[in-house]
Amino acid sequence: MKYDESHGSPYDRGSADSYYQRARSPHYYPQGSYVGERITDLTLEQLEAYNAGFNDNEATQNFKDYGQE
């Protein structure tokens, strides 16, 4: 399935949470990442997109390198 990957979208926020190795915390920003209100009351479709973004990034193991060993 193809999801909206624009900055702030549920898919984008899910993949970002995984990338930075944060816990799942479904949310999105309708006006773009960190612009306007953080929305946490997601529809089922938005929750599916958030989880897909998180899971897709987990599958590729594309995580931020914090320089720790």
pLDDT band at 1 (very low <50, low <70, confident <90, very high): confident
The 8 Å CB, 24+ separation contacts for 39-46 are 42/10, 46/10
The average pLDDT across 45-69 equals 95
Domain region containing 30: 10-60
45 domain-assigned: yes
pTM of the predicted structure, to 2 decimals: 0.93
Number of folded domains that form the chain: 1
User: pLDDT tens-digit profile of 11-56?
Assistant: 999 999 999 999 999 999 999 999 999 999 999 999 999 999 999 9
pLDDT band at 69 (very low <50, low <70, confident <90, very high): low
26 domain-assigned: yes
Strand, helix or coil for residue 49: helix
pLDDT of residue 35: 95
